[in-house]
């Protein structure tokens, strides 16, 4: 099998993990015609319980959401543990659970590259970004990058980066959500998409970040509980022996012992490296994740948040080893889970749900299906808050009102923007329902790694950065990342139908991120403008403020 | 504390940030070894078990990165106290 064929075979499943949402399911096994499952009453009852609890939370949160600060950052009163759990809930998705497990069902060990990629961004987030971002920003990462640079142009570029990432993420989310819910609950696609949007609007419009935070916390606890129960039941049936788990998996899988080592799904180290770069640096540039750092009261709590998030995610991805190999043991050779033509019912992304059924019966299946739906709501809610903040805070309050908006109008606009994003999400979800959205699912992480991360990192760590360099670097990152995705296998071959891709990799961040950084560096060092001098001069004061908090240091640009 | 002293302290902290970030990146990208000739040995099983070196590496990397975070937090809290 050629490298390209292999790439195509696993690309869909990988993509779901790249955006860390069920959305990507659209790109993988849940693609094209879906065999709708019979209505699942247990799943629906459990999901309704979740909805009732989260709507109750939203009602409670709405009484505490009076100002823009409440809306964007939950008043900054979330504790480190709560925020860490919410970050895990925001990032750890049904895609992580269903996607990695499904890929392990097919190819064993190789799928774990996606798990390590999804995990490793968090320690780097703690070491490099958590404290400084928390100290410098108010509501969004755009606040941070505009601190020492010419605020108007750099904000516009950062808003562009945010909106592109959020919209692409949302499209992938909504299409994947529609298909996943159709599959799990037996609901029509349109009903699923509208349900997701209506519920998210209820959470976000009334409860803002506080409701979103608690929805994400509840979801994270449910997901971790579900994965723990499944892993426990799998281990119970293997006598709590990891060795027996692997031995039985190898005995059941058509590829035998090969699934316990690398090489079944991937064989190109550059392909692996591009995936790992996209995932790690993509996480560091995701606006809705960075925004969570502002919900805690101090820089210490920000660092703690990231640590707790790492801890939960580390546990989750380690537990997936048991769950993934568990699917191999319990599903292969069990005809109850396969159609007449030998395909797993619902596709390989359903392997985890089938495993729940095999080890825990209808109750656990219903629970895990409900958790998967809850997961979608939590991620879409986070994206919606982030998109709304980009428009109402970054654009309206900071650019159009020059940082002095009428706070009542700003909050009204925030709520209106939230509703608009909800409507747009439904429209895009319906518009793209029959499209191959695999390439859309690739873009958010690659764009975040190539646009948002370089300007954020360099503004915090390089004194030589100038506005001109940051803007041109970000634009080069945006154009090159979108361009290389278009000429890569996912779009050029799979969507446009050409025989051979012009660029061999689906995840070009390995090339586009260094290109963006190089452009930023060259333009900045050759920038002799007066604005460039101010940008460089501002760095030391920004540095002090980034370590000692917002009361220290007043930047020249901040006075404008 | 005057600005120069503050900047010196921040530079020291920044070096620490870089050291931890680079260590994390270094261990992270060792995972690529699994798909190279140099890491061919990782595909072997440990003793008589079915546990491959690659799986041990995966679990070990996650645990190691969490340990890095713990050390970083401990060093920082000591630094904050000082």
Residues 23-82 of B with CB under 8 A from A: 24-25, 28-29, 31-32, 34-36, 42-45, 49-52, 54-55, 58-59, 61-63, 65-66, 68-70, 72-73, 76, 80
Q: What is the pLDDT, as a whole number, of residue B79?
A: 67
Which among A448, A360, A316, A407 is positioned nearest to A66, based on CA atoms?
A407
List CB contacts (< 8 A) between B73 and chain A. 126, 303-304, 307
Contact A271, A114 (CB under 8 A): no
Residue A77: CB atoms within 10 A of its CB come to 14
Here the tokens at position A341 are: 């033509």
* Average confidence (pLDDT) over B33-53: 94
Query: How far apart, in whole angstroms, are the C-alpha atoms of residue A116 and residue A134?
Result: 26
Contact A380, A425 (CB under 8 A): yes
Indicate left, alpha or beta for A436 from its phi (over 0: left) and psi (-120 to 50: alpha). beta
Is the CB of A124 inside 8 Å of chain B's CB atoms? Answer: yes
* Average confidence (pLDDT) over A64-73: 85
DSSP-assigned letters across all residues of A44-74: HHHHHHHHHHHHHHHHHHHTT--SHHHHHHG
List CB contacts (< 8 A) between B69 and chain A. 122-123, 126, 306-307, 310
**Which one of A269, A306, A321 has the shortest CB-CB distance to B36?**
A269
**pLDDT(A59) > 70:** yes
Map residue B45 onto helix, strand or coil: strand
**pLDDT(A557) > 50:** no
* Average confidence (pLDDT) over A408-427: 89
Q: What is the pLDDT, as a whole number, of residue A538?
A: 93
Q: What is the pLDDT, as a whole number, of residue B1?
A: 65
Q: Which residues contact A88 (CB under 8 A, 6 or more apart)?
A: A216, A220, A224, A308, A309, A312, A313, A316
Which of A108, A119, A243, A262 is the best substitution to test chain B (most B C-beta atoms within 10 A)? A262
Share of chain B above pLDDT 90, in %: 77
Q: What is the pLDDT, as a whole number, of residue B81?
A: 55
**Which one of A124, A128, A261 has the shortest CB-CB distance to B52?**
A261
Residues 368-397 of A with CB under 8 A from B: none
**pLDDT(B13) > 80:** yes
Torsion of CA A396, A398, A401, A403, to 10 degrees: 150
**Which one of B7, B45, B80 has the shortest CB-CB distance to A543?**
B7
Size of the A and B interface in Cβ pairs below 8 Å: 125
pLDDT in tens, A513-528: 999 999 999 999 999 9
Burial A180-206 (b: 16+ CB within 10 A, else e): bbbbbbbbebeebbbbbbebbbbbbbb
What's the angle, vertex CA A332, arms to CA A92 and CA A227, rounded to 5?
A: 25
Contact A34, A190 (CB under 8 A): no
pLDDT in tens, A518-556: 999 999 999 999 999 999 999 988 888 888 876 644 444
What's the angle, vertex CA A384, arms to CA A286 and CA A396, rounded to 5?
A: 90
| Bridge partner list, B45 | B52
Burial A491-503 (b: 16+ CB within 10 A, else e): bbbbbeeeeebeb
Contact B64, B44 (CB under 8 A): no
pLDDT in tens, A219-264: 999 999 999 999 999 999 999 999 999 999 999 999 999 999 999 9
Is the CB of B7 inside 8 Å of chain A's CB atoms? Answer: yes
Burial A86-109 (b: 16+ CB within 10 A, else e): bbbbbbbbbbbbbbbbbbbbbbbb
Q: What is the pLDDT, as a whole number, of residue A32?
A: 41
Q: What is the pLDDT, as a whole number, of residue A442?
A: 66
* Average confidence (pLDDT) over A170-182: 79
**pLDDT(A338) > 60:** yes
pLDDT in tens, A441-457: 667 899 999 999 999 99
pLDDT in tens, B47-64: 999 999 999 999 999 999
Which among A268, A314, A507 is positioned nearest to B32, based on CA atoms?
A268
Residue A35's pLDDT band, with cuts at 50, 70 and 90, is low
Query: How far apart, in whole angstroms, are the C-alpha atoms of residue A484 and residue A504?
Result: 9
The ipTM, to two decimals, is 0.94
Map residue A38 onto helix, strand or coil: coil
Which of A120, A241, A312 is the best substitution to test chain B (most B C-beta atoms within 10 A)? A120
* Average confidence (pLDDT) over A332-359: 87
Q: Quick one: DSSP state of residue A398?
A: I
HSE on the CB side for A252, CA within 13 Å? Answer: 20
List CB contacts (< 8 A) between A307 and chain B. 69-70, 73
Q: What is the pLDDT, as a whole number, of residue A437?
A: 60
Residue A90's pLDDT band, with cuts at 50, 70 and 90, is confident
Is the CB of A47 inside 8 Å of chain B's CB atoms? Answer: no
CB contact under 8 A, B61 and A115: no
**pLDDT(A37) > 80:** no
List CB contacts (< 8 A) between B58 and chain A. 109, 112, 115-116, 321
Share of chain A above pLDDT 90, in %: 49
The burial class, CB within 10 Å (0-12 / 13-18 / 19+), for A416 is middle
Residues 285-314 of A with CB under 8 A from B: 300, 303-304, 306-307, 310-311, 314
Contact A372, A177 (CB under 8 A): no
* Average confidence (pLDDT) over A255-274: 93
Q: What is the pLDDT, as a whole number, of residue A28?
A: 38
Helix A438-447 crosses helix A467-486 at what angle (to 10 degrees)? 160
Residue A349's pLDDT band, with cuts at 50, 70 and 90, is confident
Q: What is the pLDDT, as a whole number, of residue A71?
A: 87
**pLDDT(A404) > 90:** no
Contact A24, A16 (CB under 8 A): yes
- Average pLDDT in chain A: 86
* Average confidence (pLDDT) over A342-360: 87
Residue in chain A closest to B41 (alpha carbons) equals A261
pLDDT in tens, A189-204: 888 889 888 888 888 8
Torsion of CA A51, A57, A60, A61, to 10 degrees: -120
Q: What is the pLDDT, as a whole number, of residue A16?
A: 44
Total residue length of chain A: 560
pLDDT in tens, A482-518: 999 889 887 888 778 899 999 998 889 999 999 999 9
Query: How far apart, in whole angstroms, are the C-alpha atoms of residue A281 and residue A290?
Result: 12
Residue A432 dihedral angles phi and psi, to the nearest 5°: -95, 10
Q: What is the pLDDT, as a whole number, of residue A94?
A: 66
pLDDT in tens, A208-218: 899 999 989 99
Q: What is the pLDDT, as a whole number, of residue A175?
A: 80
Residue in chain A closest to B35 (alpha carbons) equals A269
Q: Quick one: DSSP state of residue A36?
A: P
């Amino acid at each position: 099998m050629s490298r390209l064929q292999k790439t195509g075979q696993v690309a869909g499943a990988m993509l779901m993990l790249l955006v860390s949402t069920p959305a990507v399911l659209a790109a993988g096994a849940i693609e094209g015609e879906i065999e709708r499952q019979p209505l699942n009453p247990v799943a629906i009852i459990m999901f309704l319980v979740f909805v009732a609890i989260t709507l109750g939370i939203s009602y409670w949160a709405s009484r505490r959401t009076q100002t823009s600060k409440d809306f964007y950052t939950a008043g900054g009163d979330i504790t480190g543990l709560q925020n860490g759990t919410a970050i895990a809930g925001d990032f750890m998705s049904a895609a992580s659970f269903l996607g990695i497990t499904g890929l392990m069902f097919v190819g064993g060990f190789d799928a774990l590259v996606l798990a390590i990629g999804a995990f490793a961004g968090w320690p780097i987030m703690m070491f490099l970004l958590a404290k400084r971002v928390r100290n410098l920003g108010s509501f969004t990462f755009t606040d941070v990058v505009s601190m020492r640079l010419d605020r108007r142009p750099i904000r516009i570029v950062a808003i562009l980066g945010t909106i592109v990432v959020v919209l692409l993420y949302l499209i992938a989310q909504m299409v994947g959500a529609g298909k996943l819910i159709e599959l799990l609950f037996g609901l029509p696609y349109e009903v699923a998409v509208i349900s997701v949007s209506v519920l998210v609007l209820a959470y976000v419009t009334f409860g803002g970040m506080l409701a979103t935070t608690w929805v994400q916390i509840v979801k994270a606890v449910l997901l971790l509980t579900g994965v723990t129960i499944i892993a426990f039941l799998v281990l119970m049936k293997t006598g709590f022996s990891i060795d027996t788990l692997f031995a039985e998996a190898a005995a059941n899988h058509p590829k035998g012992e090969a699934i316990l080592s690398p090489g079944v799904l991937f064989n190109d180290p550059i392909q692996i490296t591009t995936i790992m770069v996209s995932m790690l640096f993509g996480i560091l540039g995701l606006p809705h994740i960075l925004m969570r750092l502002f919900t805690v009261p101090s820089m210490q709590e920000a660092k703690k948040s990231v640590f707790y998030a790492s801890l939960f995610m580390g546990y989750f991805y380690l537990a997936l080893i048991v769950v993934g190999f568990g699917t191999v043991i319990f599903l292969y050779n069990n005809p109850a889970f396969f159609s007449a033509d030998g395909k797993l019912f619902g596709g390989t992304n359903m392997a985890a749900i089938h495993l729940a059924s095999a080890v825990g019966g209808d109750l656990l299946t219903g629970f895990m299906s409900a958790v998967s739906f809850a997961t979608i709501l939590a991620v879409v809610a986070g994206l919606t808050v982030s998109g709304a903040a980009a428009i109402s805070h970054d654009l309206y309050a900071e650019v159009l009102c020059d940082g002095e908006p009428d706070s009542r109008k700003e909050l009204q606009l925030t709520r209106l923007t939230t509703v608009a994003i909800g409507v747009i999400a439904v429209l895009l979800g319906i518009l793209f329902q029959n499209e191959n959205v695999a390439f859309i699912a690739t873009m958010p992480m690659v764009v975040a790694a190539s646009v948002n991360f370089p300007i954020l990192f360099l503004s915090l760590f390089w004194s030589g950065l100038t506005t001109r360099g940051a803007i041109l670097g970000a634009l080069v990152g945006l154009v090159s990342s979108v361009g290389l995705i278009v000429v890569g296998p996912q779009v050029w071959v799979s969507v446009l139908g050409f025989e051979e891709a012009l660029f061999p990799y689906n995840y070009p961040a390995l090339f586009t991120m260094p290109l963006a950084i190089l452009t930023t560096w060259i333009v900045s060092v050759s920038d002799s403008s007066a604005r460039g001098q101010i940008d460089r001069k501002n760095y030391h004061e920004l540095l002090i403020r980034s370590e000692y908090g917002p009361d220290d240091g007043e930047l020249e640009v901040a006075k404008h | 504390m005057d600005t120069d002293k503050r900047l010196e302290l921040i530079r020291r902290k920044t070096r620490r940030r870089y050291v931890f970030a680079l260590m994390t990146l270094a261990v992270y990208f060792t995972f690529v070894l699994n798909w190279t000739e140099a890491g061919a040995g990782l595909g072997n099983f440990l003793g008589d078990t079915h546990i491959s070196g690659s799986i041990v590496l995966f679990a070990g990397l996650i645990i190691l990165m969490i340990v890095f975070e713990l050390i970083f937090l401990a060093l920082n809290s000591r630094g904050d106290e000082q």
